[in-house]
Chain A
């Protein structure tokens, strides 16, 4: 296993490469932006799904909430004088560069906070349920979100919303801006999650995964910790959603914001491919899945879904615990050997 200093050196070496990537491959900037998005999606799903062992099929709900809240803030923050129904969908708001960035930052943060509060409220209600029951309960969340959003005129109802046009006089191009914004978000999410997994809180989450009854009987407030984990995930996921809405430029309640069959499923598949419950697993899983998805789509159009399905089957059969789960297992095997040779205290 790599030592800590080695890992840090690797990370410091990787950073400038990641930062310079859009200059080296300008035509792939959007693709690389989405890799960062996927990393955030997989990481946030894994906190509850992997580390705590609570599979959620409804995390896409927070993604959509962040997207909508941000779009509303962007729309209304500097143009509140207009009649609100004139500003939805058809009428595209044009605002100055500084207004754009201020409203985007405020909107993303507001989206994160709203999602966090919703996670606390929803979580307190349904995270008392164990394992499968929780999973079933979350199945409808994304769908409910889409249905509700489709019914509210204030946010464009079924016809969706348009995010403000990226200012032409901004200091940096749209693609580059969002590439760096998402790279930063992915890095921040990763480092915060890494700190959390090393903390008492992180170990408590693992304890809940392994044996919730025991954790409870040892005085751990399990529901409170599960809700906290879900809220932290929801916060970062919503910020990612806020950004994705702006990258796409159009928010459809069913196809984009609360899109269970795409983002909603991908985040789960990526975390499982890379290794549930490991720090690096979701990161690697996100890269592998998204890159192969793009490659198959480019070179095997028509058969791309088949090829992707085949890849998933191969990984699940040969690495049932995901790529990093497999590495951890090897490490554990080594430990067992040393423990047999090792000396007693």
Chain B
């Protein structure tokens, strides 16, 4: 069953066509990768999917529901979250607070004026330990290193118990020794928590190990798709990256 289906989505900014007739499907429980040269429209595609901007044409279905007209918070509440290329964390709040606020806040008035429940605090500790930030839990998130902020952002996304995560370059700027740990955790999250992943990645070693199926975007259109091995040997993909 496909959790996410993107059908011939188009998006242009003025005269610049960022996405044209882009389609992809993400089966439930799988890890799917998106690669492509800089400026090829990967992040635009992510923005379209999560409702950051309205799309010009096409359809986006998540869990059997048309979502292209919904707002970001509405889509987030359906269980699809994204992380950013640059880290987006709450810098002036401690790691614990960052995690707490990422739990599913109940929109009922009576409940939002009460503190966080004990279960949430336990889950915060558990997930901070999972990404290895437990020791630093009372530090301001803004004081963490870039790599640690990425881990924190990843843990924050997990707080929501999402069905699907869209990760925009999870390993960019993370030091090489941390990258292996991060790959392990992504796989663990996928296998143990059953979270479907859609990953944009520039690091070929990472994406080839991680993803079961890869889409290559170039110049705003879908250039190729297939298993990692096929993509690696696809002449069009090589040309897109190196020029011909």
Contacts of B97 in A (CB 8 A): 203, 206
Contacts of A217 in B (CB 8 A): 50, 52, 72-73, 76, 81-82, 88
Please judge, given known A-B contacts A216-B72, A217-B50, A218-B76, whether A203 and B135 are in contact too, CB under 8 Å: no
Q: Is A199 an interface residue (CB 8 A)?
A: yes
Q: Is B242 an interface residue (CB 8 A)?
A: no
10 A-B interface contacts by CB (under 8 A): A196-B113, A199-B115, A213-B88, A214-B89, A217-B50, A218-B76, A218-B101, A336-B139, A339-B138, A344-B134
In this complex, what residue of B is CB-closest to A223? B73
Q: Is A332 an interface residue (CB 8 A)?
A: yes
Q: Is B56 an interface residue (CB 8 A)?
A: no
Please judge, given known A-B contacts A218-B160, A336-B143, A342-B135, whether A211 and B114 are in contact too, CB under 8 Å: no
Tell me whether B116 and A200 are in contact (CB under 8 A): yes
Tell me whether B101 and A207 are in contact (CB under 8 A): yes
Chain B 15-46 against A: per-residue CB contact (8 Å), 1 yes, 0 no? 00000000000000000000000000000000
The CA of A200 and the CA of B140, in the complex, are separated in Å by: 18
Contacts of B105 in A (CB 8 A): 200, 204, 219-220
Contacts of B116 in A (CB 8 A): 200, 203
In this complex, what residue of A is CB-closest to B141? A210
The CA of A232 and the CA of B200, in the complex, are separated in Å by: 42
Chain A 312-345 against B: per-residue CB contact (8 Å), 1 yes, 0 no? 0000000000000000000010011011001111
Residues of chain B at the chain A interface (Cβ within 8 Å): 50, 52, 72-73, 76-77, 81-82, 84, 88-94, 97, 100-102, 104-107, 111-116, 125, 129, 134-136, 138-140, 143, 156-157, 160
In this complex, what residue of A is CB-closest to B113? A199
Tell me whether B115 and A200 are in contact (CB under 8 A): yes
A residues 233-256 near B (Cβ < 8 Å) are none
Contact among B92, B100, B135 with A343 in the assembled complex (CB-CB below 8 Å): B135
